[in-house]
Structure 1
Amino acid sequence: MHTELLVQLKRITFGYQPAQPVLQDVSLTLRRGEILTLIGPNGAGKSTLLKIMLGLLQPQAGTVWRRDGLRFGYVPQKLHVDASLPMTARRFIELGLPPGTHTLSNRWVELTRVSALLDKPLQGLSGGELQRVMLCRAILRQPDVLVLDEPLQGVDVQGQKFLYQLLVTIRDELQCAIVLISHDLHLVMAQTDQVICLNHHICCSGTPQSVAEHPEYRRLFGEDAGLFAIYTHHHDPHRCAEHEGCTHE
């Protein structure tokens, strides 16, 4: 049971231009151990809501509460790396370590499959490799809340399965909350406790199944959008996350 409240947003309104609110009357709660998925079309306000949750933006109306001392781990949608910047993946990860930490955790380095990437320059990494490096950097902070913005963008099916397996392992071992943001309406991990369908306001929320069947969701995205390809996995995520070729379902 998810009990400890970590973040609570109440009736949030925000707009980059006063007459055009990006978010209007949005509320949500996030508890330890919970997986929350935000879905919605491009421009729906998902990333703006994320920035308000992280404290990077202040709402024009509404309230934000965060537990004292809350640690966030953030995996952005994209990372722009200067082509002339002489930085290895190892150095990039080390710069994100908490004060007083001098070594990388072998377990998380192995589970995120970045061991072979540590001494490569960031500029030489593929999109998927860079994503794993950013994820490793985020979880080595031992966050209370791990946030991933569009983590499946450009990732193939096997990469998606690996990521979902790994996220369950991270949630279980760190006992953190996880927030996933996506505009992909057809793939939601079955372990998600709550899906929020956002289009400037909350259209509907609930379990993946209930949101997929909700009339407001179908009116917004079409009847076919109700057919989620909900990923389920019945094998031990600790074992499968270590095997790149695992395709068990």
Structure 2
Amino acid sequence: MRIIFRCDPALIDRLERPAPARMMLPDWLRSMPSDAFSHVHDADVRTVKQCPPFVDAMAHGFVVTLPCDVTVGQGRLSWDWDLPPLSVDSHPRSPISFHVPAQVTGTPFHRGDRAIVKFNSFWTIELEPGYSLFATHPVNRDDLPFRLLTGMVDSDRFTDVGILFPAVWVAQDFEGVLPKGTPVAQCFPVSRAPLDLAFEAFSPDDSRRYDRTARMLMSTKGLYRKSLRAKRPRSSDKGVPQSGEIEP
């Protein structure tokens, strides 16, 4: 899957580049213990750090990040980001803009005192024909003070301007700095091919395999990770700095 990112020529060497999500895993995942004591079991149990589905979801696709530091305080968002003259007059120059709360009236997100921010994208995104871009809140990142509203864009056709990522500001008491490089959206291509849903009863062989695999999952530590999980291919990562990663 080839994904092409483009930006104004004046920004090509200044912007934070979207990065493979596996390279943007949070520090808390890296530092958390692999096992923790459970009072229910009166023994140590494996934490989600050892759960491949949990980590694989966080490592899937690519992440769009903040292009500069954003300071949050006294109900205001501010930044000091000196951009050069751009080649496009209608191009955004601020990292964040806003929606009015009325635009989510009737949704669970609506509250009169809750801001709806909009993370501006300085990159356009082009996918291969037949694919849309699924954009959602960075997976399992409840530590962020906002919640991105999930959306899907036909980025094989909508390729001329950047995508805007709206989010609900949920941490009303948050004050501090969202640093440059903070993940704001996790994205991945999805096919628009229609689904073909089929429903069948277990055959005798299905039942035998179910029972055998269930017993092995209970008796063999790490069976899914070692024997059933598909190997993840590496992204090309052109122009992206390298970092450590979690191997579930």
TM-score by length of 2: 0.27
More helix by share: 1
> Highest CA radius of gyration, 1 or 2?
2
